[in-house]
Structure 1
Amino acid sequence: GPDGALTASRAAYLGGCMGTSNLEAGKKFHIPVKGTHAHSYVMSYRRELDSFRRYAEVFPNTTILLVDTYDTIRSGMVHAIEVGREMKQQGRILAGVRLDSGDLLTLSKQARQMLDDAGLFETRIVASGDLDEYRIAELKRQGAPIDLFGVGTRLVTGHESPAIAGVYKLSSIEQSPGDSQMRMKVTDHTDKTSLPGIKQVYRSYDADGMMAGDCIELESAGADLEGFVPLLSPALKDGYIVRPIQPLDEIRKQVITSLQTIPAEVVRIQNPERYPVSLGPALADARKKTIEGYSGKTW
């Protein structure tokens, strides 16, 4: 939608990103605004060096220079180091250089060596350019001296599954006030067979506070699940918001805290373990009886 970039920035910040380069998102949601300049900014000057110097004047304390507009090593890094030395003489620090294309492993190593040789040890290296968790993990595994990663396109779009195959299934119907009957879809394809009734999802934690597993159970039977925490709560009722609206930073803290309770073996990129999800006894029984009621058979 037209607000996609804004909602994407908000979601990324909630999920743990430290800031956004989207100025409107920063203004609207009070997300910390971070970033560098564009290639077009460099190209608007006759000389790359002039663009770097002017940028350092305007942003004296947060100067991160994009060095790959023309030639990363022979032009961008040379000019960035020249500006960095000038800033150092003025008692300031070149915050970073940004690599946005090419062989990021090789370029980052060359850039780090050039910066260190110039005495710019505090200048950090930022990498961007269609990065995702797999590419970042591989760069880190290979020892790329990259301090910060700028992610965008692959973070907020579904490259592997660009469309969600959502299909409405009826699980319960109220024939009259207080009289609800369960419904479910039954098919030979288990992934398309739905679960009946109004449900709640409950989560258990181990002694260390890490997620141990989820249980899907009928909402009416959940009180019997001792030690489980319900995950679903009403957000709207009769067209009105019934859930307290919290500040964005408070929601972010809760999200990050929750993510930290996921076991490492579940979130690891290579060969992750499957997170355990089970059906509660009441739901399993309701599922069995509903199927038998449809077919007259025992499943």
Structure 2
Amino acid sequence: MLVKKCGNVQLINNNKKKNSLTGLFCGGSAFLIWGFVPLYYKTLSHVPAHEVIIHRIVWSLIFLMPVVFFQGQWRAFTAVFRSFEQLKWLLCTALLVASNWFIFIWAIDNDMLIQASLGYYINPLISVLLGMLFLQERLRKLQSVAVLIAAAGVFYLTYRYGSFPFVSFLLAITFGLYGLMRKKLAINSAVGLAVETFVLMIPGIIYLFYLEKTGTAAFCHVDRVTDLLLIGTALVTAIPLLLFNIGVGRLKLATIGFLQYLGPSLMFLLAVFVFEETLSVHQLISFIFIWTALAIYALDSIRT
């Protein structure tokens, strides 16, 4: 009996380790893709951000429906529409993720990728706070120190500029809330994302018809490369979000918060060295605060 119990414990531990490794791989891959995605959207800077968002929604749904079907999740997809509770929360997550997409693409189009990267640096801070408030996740002492240092960096930048970095904050809060709500929803990642894009698709298609009628649509009116890039937004949208939702289900929200530093680090490097955006001294000081916090957070996680 004792041997059997020990075997069961070892099996449970192995499953937990496997789930953690899967979550780490999926979560890390999602943020690596998001880190490089500004290169993709920079090629669509001649298309208004609101039109790009609509195409992201429509083509993502077309990409996701076969994924849902071949995963055997079609019943789960249709069941969501019979559950007011699930549909209500997925409508909220849909609005949050669409808002996040729009702000991000708008920031890229307006050469504000440095501020966008700051937003995604703040995002883990928001995730940690949300985890503490709603999921009863607790921080160790060094993790708390890291959070305070990161917050000091944000407040310093706000003080020196004399205005709150709204683009950064809105990116952080919309995605932080999205991650929290999706973690609380017990629903398949592909199904959830398909429902999110579905509820946004109908107003999106209506708006595309409006653009076509007024002669302001870019799709099929610029060149074939632009058309293909707009269709390709399905891949750069759905794939990292699917990976992210898999990671969220297998990792603590605080760990997801740590992984989220990968994306903004790559964005920051792209902004400075590829897009040649101006990096002020005050921005650099703020980033040093946040990078220091990241180093402390990482060392504490490794030690633990």
TM-score scaled by length of structure 1? 0.23
Q: Give the structure with the larger helix fraction.
A: 2
Q: Indicate the structure (1 or 2) with the bigger Cα radius of gyration.
A: 1
Higher strand proportion, which one? 1
